[in-house]
Amino acid sequence: MIPVADPAAMAALAAEHVMARISENPGRIAICLTGGSSPKQLYQLLATDILRSKIPWQRVHWFIGDERFVPADDPLNNMGLARALFLDQCAPASNIHPIPTSTADPADSNRGAALYEAELKAFYGVDELDPARPLFDLVLMGVGPDGHTASLFPGFPAVDETQRWVVGVAKAHVEPFVPRVTLTLPTLASCREMLFEVAGSDKRAILTRTFAGENLPANRARSNGETVWLVDQAALPEDFRG
Ligand code: 6PG
């Protein structure tokens, strides 16, 4: 766990991690973004001239770890936010991989999940994840007040899924109460680095429980490579305060 002063410092350090993972891979790069408010400042930083000019945009593919099952242009759409903050200005459209949410049945998140699983498998090239060849270079994550991460909510069967790469979740545990689509733990784990960003005093209680080892999705989400937690001062549990 790396403590940082505030959300601005956290975004700056997260951007360093993004840039380091990009520079380590001379080939095709895959980054899995996250929803929620925590990554906003990072996304804005990636669009600034200094970083934008250093990213080999043609080689970087952008995925999303979970999606709220709302239309792509709905303000609640996770990939929509990332597009608005940096992707649409910077990335080739064919390198942006949103979870489809426009199926005939607006509640059919399972269909969106199946389509995204097929897209991830096509990108990866085979249907089985090989621990020696991670799907993603970097996976960004956040933590919800109930200990969820991505759209893996405590006690939901999606948390225990081991076969499917992506699943539909009929109803979220927290706002917004819309169906979700989420990558499963084994899929998210298939990365060189998983990077959590957690900020704000309203996260201190759940981080205290998480770091105490409670069985929560946020605790079970681990990279097969490196897992890094960035936590700002306001969110830092009492035991970790200097
Ligand atoms: C979502 C997310 C979710 C989020 C956490 C933290 O769709 O809501 O992907 O898992 O990362 O709830 O959200 P904040 O960053 O807003 O605290």
DSSP for 54-98, written as a single string? TS-GGGEEEEESEEESS-TTSTT-HHHHHIIIIIHHHS-GGGB-P
- Alpha carbon 45 to its chain centroid, in Å, reads 17
Q: What is the pLDDT of residue 106?
A: 62
* CA–CA distance, 154 with 116 (Å, rounded to integer): 23
In the block, which residue shows the tokens 């001062």?
Answer: 233
Name 220's Cβ contacts closer than 8 Å, sequence gap at least 6: 152, 159, 185
Q: To test the ligand 1 pocket, which listed residue (38, 99, 210) has its Cβ within 8 A of the most ligand atoms? A: 38
Nearest CA to ligand 1 atom 8: 36
Share of the chain above pLDDT 90, in %: 91
Q: Does any ligand 1 atom lie closer than 6 A to the CB of residue 109?
A: no
Q: What is the pLDDT of residues 171-185, one digit of tens each?
A: 888 899 999 999 999
CA-based torsion, 153, 122, 88, 90: positive or negative: positive
- The tokens for 129 are 């994840």
Which tokens in the block code for residue 101? 């949410």
CA separation, residue 42 to residues 39, 142, 209, 240 (Å) = 5, 13, 26, 24
- Ligand 1 pocket, 147 CB below 6 A? no
pLDDT tens-digit profile of 188-236? 999 999 999 999 999 999 999 999 999 999 999 999 999 999 999 999 9
Is residue 112 pLDDT above 90, yes or no?
A: yes
* 78 CA closest ligand 1 atom index: 7
Q: What integer pLDDT is reported at residue 171 of this predicted model?
A: 86
Give the per-residue pLDDT at 103.
Answer: 66
The verdict on the CB of residue 34 being under 6 Å from ligand 1 is: yes
Is the CB of residue 41 less than 8 Å from the CB of residue 11?
yes
Write down the pTM of the prediction: 0.97
Is 215's C-beta closer than 6 angstroms to any atom of ligand 1? no
- Start-end of H helices in the chain: 7-24, 40-46, 49-52, 78-82, 88-90, 109-124, 185-189, 204-211, 217-220
Per-residue pLDDT band at 102 (split at 50, 70, 90): confident
Per-residue pLDDT band at 104 (split at 50, 70, 90): low
